[in-house]
Amino acid sequence: MFQSKTKDNSSLSLKILLRKSFLGIGAVPKRVALDLFSGKGEIARRAYLDFPELHLVEKNPRQVELLKAGFAGLTRARIWEMDNLEFLQKHLPGFPGLSLVDFDAYGSPNKQIQAFFSACKIREPILIFATDGGVLATIRGRGISPDLYLAGSDQGWGAGYDPVIGRNYERMIRCFWDELSKRHNFRIELFKIIWKKGGQLAYYGLLIKPR
């Protein structure tokens, strides 16, 4: 018996929908977009092509080849083949005109989010998008660092799924952002979360503004 299986594109569609819903309100001028987990550029191609400056950071050489092919000839797109933490430390300070940052991670992006705010003072409104699969990663056997949800240092604490963390995942994500907003002197004007995989994977977006 032959079976045809249709590809599930709902995750990508939801991510794009989330981004377009924020971009559609015109809350930030489209100037510089920074995609820190670019992959092969599916999101960037669909949502950020009309930014006059687009920076794509990706550490996997195979994905970088696809990025180069996909963005060939688009001079306003710059590809950085490197670890995003290194990018944030070395290149982010002094990066002018940033109006959008994308953290479409596997697992939790919180280490990169913290590194971003350590390197960049918020002076203008910025849109932030993230995918947080931290809880899903623990179900798949990877460790989680609760400290990463409390804006502390990464102590690499705990391995395996913790049902208390699983049940309070949304609260942890929101507390993480509340704490960051106090530490880095910004306010959160909009916060939308879309849940996937029974609450184990979050796609979210925020509009933040300087206090």
Ligand X SMILES: C[S@@+](CC[C@H](N)C(=O)[O-])C[C@H]1O[C@@H](n2cnc3c(N)ncnc32)[C@H](O)[C@@H]1O
Binding site for ligand X (CB under 6 A): 37-43, 57-60, 63, 83-85, 104-106
Are the beta carbons of 140 and 131 closer than 8 angstroms? no
Query: Which is nearer to ligand X, 86 or 124 (by Cβ)?
Result: 86
In this structure, the dihedral spanned by the alpha carbons of residues 186, 187, 190 and 193, taken in order and rounded to 10 degrees, is 70
Query: Which is nearer to ligand X, 54 or 186 (by Cβ)?
Result: 54
What's the min distance (Å) between Cβ of 15 and ligand X?
7
Q: Angle between the 169-183 and 110-119 helix axes, to the nearest 10 degrees?
A: 10
What's the min distance (Å) between Cβ of 34 and ligand X?
12
Closest by alpha carbon to 116, among 22, 186, 63? Answer: 186
Shortest-Cβ-distance residue relative to ligand X: 39
If phi > 0 it is left, if psi is from -120 to 50 it is alpha, else beta; for residue 160 that is left
Q: Which residues, 6+ apart, have CB-to-CB distance to 7 below 8 Å?
A: none
What's the min distance (Å) between Cβ of 85 and ligand X?
6
What's the min distance (Å) between Cβ of 58 and ligand X?
5
Amino acid code (one letter) for 176? F
What's the min distance (Å) between Cβ of 172 and ligand X?
20
Residue with tokens 């688009």: 74
Query: Which is nearer to ligand X, 39 or 158 (by Cβ)?
Result: 39
Query: Which is nearer to ligand X, 60 or 185 (by Cβ)?
Result: 60
Query: Which is nearer to ligand X, 63 or 168 (by Cβ)?
Result: 63
